[in-house]
Amino acid sequence: MFDSIHEECGVFGIYENTCADTASSAYFGLYALQHRGQESCGIAVCDDGVFRHKRGDGLVSEVFTREEIQKLGKGSMAVGHVRYSTTGGHNPNNIQPLVIRHVKGNLALVHNGNLVNAAELRRSFELSGAIFHGTSDTEAIAYEIVRERLSCSSTEEAVERAMPRLRGAFSCILMTATKLIAFRDENGFRPLCIGKTHDGAYVIASESCGLETVGAEFIRDIDAGEIVVIGKDGLRSIRTHCSVKKNICVFEYIYFARPDSVIEGMSVHRARLTAGELLAKHSPADADIVIGVPDSGLDAALGYANESGIPYGIGFIKNKYIGRSFIQPQQEQRENAVKIKLNAVRETVAGKRVVMIDDSIVRGTTSARIVRLLREAGAKEVHVRISSPPFLHSCYFGTDIDSEENLIAGKCHSTQEIAEYIGADSLAYLPVEALGELTGKNCGCCCGCFTGEYPVDITGAGGKNKFDEKIHK
């Protein structure tokens, strides 16, 4: 519906010491991670080596009724996934978990991120006779692991061998008949953490909020390049590919993650407050009220208000029954459609000079509509402040940023031009050099979509639908 940035995916896994209702645990974990993907979801359960799974289009609550959870039954392990299609487009075969039966057993794989060499990997498998059913990067990861598994003694060894050939972003959980294996790329682009319940079950999730939902206590983040193996003997770590460098996507803090999550030791809520404080220092405005665009703009707005001394107010009401993936209406309906999801609070903004905080501007059309809402509600002035730098480049690691020719910051010559386009009295972005303060001292960040400088060589990465665009003869 909006020209906004979309989430990548969310992954969840649980290992119990005994047969338990792991399907329900996965359901609740995915519910907590629903903000990371609202297009499709799935759960796979392992019961004494037998895999049962359910996948479908829609929200977790739509796909998994009570009856569907009961059909999955109990088991010692489960993995789950919520998806927004960054690569591969809408294809039922792309819905995860990806369940594979190979000569040495079964595996179920869930993946968050994008590989930059997925097309190269896929082509090499196709030339050797492999048949791909979907168009996502995840199949290439699974094939790479299975190929290595045929010549080594364990799945974790296969993962260890395969990882150097997986270039890009991957935070994965893999379930075999006897163990749960989590692994993360050497840059740590996408978050992944581990926790433990009071009865000894291990839980892995994209964000710490996914742990807390099932009563698990956060233990730590899985390190960049680390492989964590959970089985009957407990937890062990393989650190062959661990790196001192970390380049987590900075947009996890700005937009993707839930504010109650903690990623790499930094509270997401605190990071967004800091972004707002930095905006107030770098780009002050003479105004009467500070408001935020729900949801990720709210914490930054509070930070701006705290630093500037301008009162904070509730400027918008968001329809809580419409998710971020609300069905896009026809072209002629779009002007009114924004009001279905968002309405300005006239009591807050009428007759006032307003500072409006949002997380980003992509093509500019949504920002223009939101500013118009404030004008129609009686705002005297609208000063827009963005808690990220301008988008100038594409992302190749799992964030669904539009192509460069459609990004308004790339098309316009100045911030003033963008301000005029969206109808704002003034506009300012968070400076690129301030981004490091959002992630904390112990973690670097990837800012490639703002700077064009990527931690990984992106040669041959292709676009979002790189597999759909190619026809092999």
Torsion (CA) 231, 236, 238, 244 in degrees, nearest 10: 140
426, 285 Cβ separation under 8 angstroms: yes
| Identity of the residue numbered 19 | C
Phi/psi of residue 222, each to 5°? -75, 130
Tokens standing for 303?
């930070």
Residues 6+ apart with CB under 8 A from 310: 285, 287, 288, 289, 290, 304, 355
CA distance 86 to 463: 10
Tokens standing for 309?
């001394």
DSSP state of 147: H
Tokens standing for 338?
């924004």
Q: Is the peptide bond before 164 cis (omega within 30 degrees of 0)?
A: no
CA distance 32 to 27: 9
Catalytic residue, candidates 9, 193, 395, 447: 9
388, 360 Cβ separation under 8 angstroms: yes
Residues 6+ apart with CB under 8 A from 142: 98, 100, 107, 109
Tokens standing for 197?
């319940």
CA distance 384 to 287: 11
| Identity of the residue numbered 334 | R
Tokens standing for 349?
């903004």
**Residue pointed to by tokens 């390049």:** 225
Nearest CA among 220, 187, 192, 266 for reference residue 439:
266
**Residue pointed to by tokens 């380049």:** 247
Tell me if residue 445 is catalytic.
Answer: no
226, 163 Cβ separation under 8 angstroms: no
Q: Is the dihedral of CA 252, 253, 259, 262 positive or negative?
A: positive
Q: What burial class does residue 48 get, using C-beta atoms within 10 Å of its C-beta: 0-12 exposed, 13-18 middle, 19+ buried? A: exposed
Give residue 273's Cα distance to chain centre: 20
Q: Catalytic amino acids?
A: 9
